[in-house]
Amino acid sequence: MANKQQSKVHGSSTIGSLGITPYEAKEGEEYMNEQQLEHFRQILIAWKKELMEEVDRTLHHMQDEAANFPDPNDRATQESEFTIELRTRDRERKLIKKIDESLALIESGDYGFCEQCGEEIGIRRLEARPTATLCIECKTLDEIREKHRVG
């Protein structure tokens, strides 16, 4: 279960797991036309709904499981588990913010285009990572620059 949650947090949630089939582009179709934008809107909305449901489950779980254990080890274990859950929810909260930003880009007509070079990000990349804001080339350069700064 933790691996499934982590994959969602890091954006690798597949559209299949959301019950959405991959977009089939038609020959000569304009990039980011109304059908494509609606496809990605549905992906983002479904993903956000899934994350919000997970937040609700965590809240109820923590309320139901909260206990004042007399044994310090039991109390420490529970606090540790809650800390991990809260850290995961915090990452998901940040992801929800990115989803909202992506939905705003759809509304403004800027979704699907690289924020650095303006080129098309690509349908398959966006299906793999619906919150992507960089094309693969700019993302690769960004990662190389980061590696040189850190390394």
| Residue 123 confidence (pLDDT) | 96
CATH 1.20.120.910 fits 30-150, yes or no: yes
Nearest in space to 95 (alpha carbons), one of 125, 50, 137: 50
| Residue 10 confidence (pLDDT) | 38
| Residue 7 confidence (pLDDT) | 38
Q: Tell me the whole-structure pTM to 2 decimals.
A: 0.77
* DSSP string of 104-123, one letter each residue: HHHHHT-TTB-TTT--B--H
Domain residue limits, the chain: 30-150
| Residue 72 confidence (pLDDT) | 82
Q: Facing residues of 1 across strands? A: none
Nearest in space to 8 (alpha carbons), one of 62, 41, 46, 36: 46
Mean pLDDT in consecutive groups of 10 residues from the start of the chain, 151 residues: 39 67 92 97 96 85 74 84 87 95 97 97 96 97 91 61
